[in-house]
Structure 1
Amino acid sequence: SQKWTGTRVDLLFGSNSQLRAVAEVYAESDAKEKFVKDFVAAWTKVMDADRYDIGKGLE
């Protein structure tokens, strides 16, 4: 019998300590606001990097 099952992504997060640590931060019951704030900041950074503005990008 199998003790554990999971998708490839589950196994990746389970075996990589850095990914697991990030996932654990966002999995906390009070982390919704932090997740949204961090997601918006990352999304803005990626969208700004895709613009044709010279001198602006991933800094």
Structure 2
Amino acid sequence: MQATAYTFDPATRSGSVLLDDGTPMDFGAQAFDAGGLRLLRPGQRVRIEVTGEGEERGITLVTLQTL
């Protein structure tokens, strides 16, 4: 799934993305570390992997979107 980086805190390695429909989703350090990134800037297109449904829905991977 694709999204746009919205916030990122390098101290905690966590932040949030906006899905293409405008829905915000938070991610933690574990999802950020799984993608092998060192930094993320707001506005960057990212690829995310999501598990769960409803309230249990969460991001498990954040990495840069490449063509």
| Structure-2-length-normalised TM-score | 0.19
Structure with greater proportional strand content = 2
Q: Which structure dedicates a bigger proportion of its chain to helix?
A: 1
- Structure 1 length-normalised TM: 0.21
* Greater length-normalized contact order (CA 8 Å, ≥ 6 residues apart): 2
Larger Rg: 1
